[in-house]
Structure 1
Amino acid sequence: MTHDTPIRVDHVGIAVESVADAEPVLRALGCEKLSDETVEDRFRWVYYRLGDASRIELIEPIEEDSFLTEFLDREGAGLHHVTLEVADIEVVIDGLEAADADLRVVDYAEFDTWTEAFVSPANPTGTLFQLMEYHDDYPEGRLPPEELFVNGGRVQEVQS
């Protein structure tokens, strides 16, 4: 590892044609729905908790021609991305770029409550990784921090 920044799996994103069709599977596994939101009429994401810390996200296309419809046409329903919460996104990106040319960031965006970057799935795992660094005000207006983070703390507060 080229850095010592704490990282943990935040959630796994699964692309589906229909949340209504897929949700019974998650319910049968014991998942509890946490949120259901639409992003600018492009896609719908529904967030579920499984157990005490695991989370799964279902993503359903709304827009007829989008990254998600292209993915579903090419790959079918299934794993879309793995989201990793990172304590310092810039350090992790620098570490990826230093480690291997196949580990490149293909999208980067800053929002009010988090910063995210996507690592291209054109790497040996074939997985799209979403890196997320939550800002201090992330929990405002959402579930309490103990519901959002492992052991009641942000990843940088929960050191092993």
Structure 2
Amino acid sequence: MESLRHLIERFDHVAYAVEMIEDALPTLDLMGASFYDGADHVRNEFRWAQFKLPDGSKLEYLAPLTETSFLRRYLDTRGPGMHHITLKVTNLKAAAAICETQGFTVTGYSESEMWSELFIHPKSANGALIQLARWDYSHTLATTIESVLAGSVIDDT
């Protein structure tokens, strides 16, 4: 069976769906996490913030910005908790082809110059939503968690 082994660059993060990112800050403080990046993804109606743990691994928190956000529907149905894991890949098209050839359900495929992603549906991945993503930038969008929580940082990828 062909695998994604040669396409996976690294594990990137675990993402959690929450009502408000502010609610997660005490837990992140307890774990010794430091703010890494975040912004409002206006097109998809959610706010995201990433935090690094002392070992360098990342946690991401997602919160809905509107009542029509996919994340609002997710929280209304499932409540807060783990949303997805993200693996960085070197070639998204090749990853999609391998997943589909192996019978995995691929959804949410999108490509842009800055950010490209797809999701492996939880029903074909042991109950977990898996995001495969490719990006070609190394800068961060935000400098402080306060600027993200104030809604002053926009992610237009």
Name the TM-score class by shorter chain: 0.7 to 0.9
Would you say how many aligned residue pairs link Structure 1 and Structure 2? Answer: 138
Q: Measure how far apart 1:124 and its partner are.
A: 4.3
Q: TM-score, normalised by structure 2?
A: 0.80
- Of structures 1 and 2, the one scoring higher in RCO (CA 8 A, sep 6+) is 2
Mean CA deviation greater in 106-115 or 52-61: 106-115
Higher mean C-alpha displacement, 35-44 vs 11-20: 35-44
The equivalences for 1:1-160 within 5 A come to 1-3=1-3, 4-7=5-8, 8-40=10-42, 42-100=45-103, 103-135=104-136, 138-139=137-138, 141-142=139-140
Provide the rounded CA distance (Å) in 1 between the counterparts of 2:101 and 2:73: 31
Q: Is the 8 A contact 1:10 1:84 kept in 2?
A: yes
RMSD: 1.7
Task: Report the equivalent of 1:154.
Answer: none
The sequence identity of aligned pairs, in percent, is 36
Question: How many angstroms apart in 1 are the aligned matches of 2:128 and 2:47?
Answer: 21
C-alpha distance after superposition, 1:66-114 (max 9, x if no partner): 21011111111001011110111122211111112xx121111122222
Structure 2 Cα separation of the partners of residues 21 and 114 of structure 1: 28
TM-score (norm 1): 0.79
- C-alpha separation in 1, matches of 2:42 and 2:102: 36
Pairwise CA distance, 1:132: 0.6
Q: Contact 2:37 / 2:140 at 8 angstroms: preserved in 1?
A: no
